[in-house]
Amino acid sequence: MKPEAERGRELMLRLARGDMRAFEEIVVSYERAVRNFAFRYLGDERKAEDVAQETFLRVYTARSRWRPDAKFHTWLFTIASRLCLNAIRSQRRERRVMRPAAVGGDGSDELAGAPARRTASPPDGVLAAERAELLRRAVAALSENQRRALLLHRFEGLSYREVAEAMGLTLEAVRSLLVRARRNLHDRLAPLLRADEPAAEGEEP
Amino acid sequence: MMERTGLCAECAELLVPYIDGELPPEEAAAVAAHLAVCPACSRAADEHRRAWALLADLPGAPAVDSLWPRVAARSRRIAARARVLRRVAAAAAALAAAFTLFYFVSGRDNSAALPDPDLLVHLPVVEQYASLDEAGGEWLGEDLDLVQAVFELTQEIEDF
Ligand SMILES: [Zn+2]
């Protein structure tokens, strides 16, 4: 943890001094994580790539303003997460203009609002693809804030406090988002958890 | 079905932050103590853990070539434009001063000799963008169109 944070900090300081090698190292080291995050959030490969590119360009243009006391990793995902939010919003605007009632045919990005079809509970040996699809739908069905908090915490390793910082929320709000995310995932993950007991923790607040 | 005594209900709210290691020590200790004596909550905690573990299989982005060449090209363009902007801003400011002086001294209209009035109209914008860039400001995306327009104005200065 420590060396990782130290490394991001050091690279950023070098970039601030105009060292493009440091910038290259930043992009190469973090692009995978940023693209994964954007892809899991947006469900669209091309948009995820745009977000990732734009994220690094913002790192570049903000190079001289970056404060060394900010944790680089958290800051990077703060940018990525805002850009994802923008992408979602413009996607929604486009959709409203282009096909008012329709929902994406590929199902790749019908997000929170659209209840994913309830997948018939698969038998024990769930194929990897089905499993991935179940997970994708489960996560896509979360509210945007829940999804963002979940991805930042579970996949990017941000602590609750760092998620709060990245999302501009209080620690308490993040905690509640994750509790609700877990609750909302319950039904959709049930086939995978092969829950043999009805979960008592379940109903919506 | 689990029983929901007061303690269990309280525990349920804390389980997720508990397994995430995000509870303050006293609360964490209280939850741990409850889990030790309550099979239902203990099972629930276990299920949370498994749910979180399942998520690890959520697919990430398909592997593609590194973004670096494209990011590098775009950042070089941004840097080049920023340099041009600073030059334009300086030149435009000098021009504006020169023309003010010209009018003041000659007192006559010599508009044929003036540069495109657009340039003077855009002067504040140019200055704003140049200083924004100095500060490491962000003007990406649609801003780039504006920057492009300003960039083209440099040709006019050079022609002039
Ligand atoms: Zn209990």
Instruction: Examine residue B137 and state whether it is found in any structural domain, yes or no.
Output: yes
Give the Cα separation of B100 and B45 in Å (integer).
Answer: 76
Give the Cα separation of A205 and B33 in Å (integer).
Answer: 27
| Best of A1, A32, A53, A57 to mutate (most B CBs within 10 Å, chain B) | A57
Work out the average pLDDT over A79-100: 83
What is the reported pLDDT for B145? 57
% of chain B exceeding 90 in pLDDT: 38
Same domain, A1 and A71: yes
B90 vs A137 pLDDT, higher one: A137
Same domain, A32 and A87: yes
Same domain, A36 and A81: yes
Work out the average pLDDT over B17-24: 96
Among B34, B141, B154, which residue's Cα sits nearest to residue B92?
B154
Same domain, B42 and B88: no
Same domain, B44 and B91: no
What is the reported pLDDT for A110? 42
Q: Do A201 and B141 touch (CB under 8 A)?
A: no
CB-CB: which of B16, B43, B136 is closest to A182? Answer: B16
Determine the distance in angstroms separating the CA of B105 from the nearest CA of chain A, rounded to an integer: 43
> Tens digits of per-residue pLDDT, A16-68?
999 999 999 999 999 999 999 999 999 999 999 999 999 999 999 999 888 88
CB-CB: which of B1, B47, B137 is closest to A193? Answer: B47
Instruction: Examine residue B67 and state whether it is found in any structural domain, yes or no.
Output: no
What is the reported pLDDT for B120? 59
What is the reported pLDDT for B67? 96
Same domain, B10 and B83: no
Determine the distance in angstroms separating the CA of A101 from the nearest CA of chain B, rounded to an integer: 28
How many distinct structural domains can be found in chain B? 2
Instruction: Examine residue A109 and state whether it is found in any structural domain, yes or no.
Output: no
Give the Cα separation of B33 and A177 in Å (integer).
Answer: 25
| Best of B38, B58, B143 to mutate (most A CBs within 10 Å, chain A) | B58
A54 CB neighbours in chain B (<8 A) are 140-141
Q: Is A38 on the interface with B (CB under 8 A)?
A: yes
Please report the ipTM that was assigned to this predicted complex. Answer: 0.75
What pLDDT band is residue B128 in, cutting at 50, 70 and 90? low
Three-class SS string for chain B?
Answer: CCCCCHHHHHHHHHHHHHHCCCCCHHHHHHHHHHHHHCHHHHHHHHHHHHHHHHHCCCCCCCCCCCCHHHHHHHHHHHHHHHHHHHHHHHHHHHHHHHHHHHHHHHCCCCHHHCCCHHHHHHHHHHHHHHHHHHCCCCCCCCHHHHHHHHHHHHHHHHHC
Instruction: Examine residue A204 and state whether it is found in any structural domain, yes or no.
Output: no
Give the Cα separation of B17 and A178 in Å (integer).
Answer: 8
Q: Do B16 and A48 touch (CB under 8 A)?
A: no
Question: Whole domain around residue B33: which residue ranges?
Answer: 6-55
Q: Do B140 and A54 touch (CB under 8 A)?
A: yes
Ligand 1 centroid–CA A188 distance in Å is 24
Same domain, A93 and A140: no
Instruction: Examine residue B148 and state whether it is found in any structural domain, yes or no.
Output: yes
CB-CB: which of B60, B66, B133 is closest to A39? Answer: B60
Question: Whole domain around residue A132: which residue ranges?
Answer: 123-196
Instruction: Examine residue A113 and state whether it is found in any structural domain, yes or no.
Output: no
Instruction: Examine residue A170 and state whether it is found in any structural domain, yes or no.
Output: yes
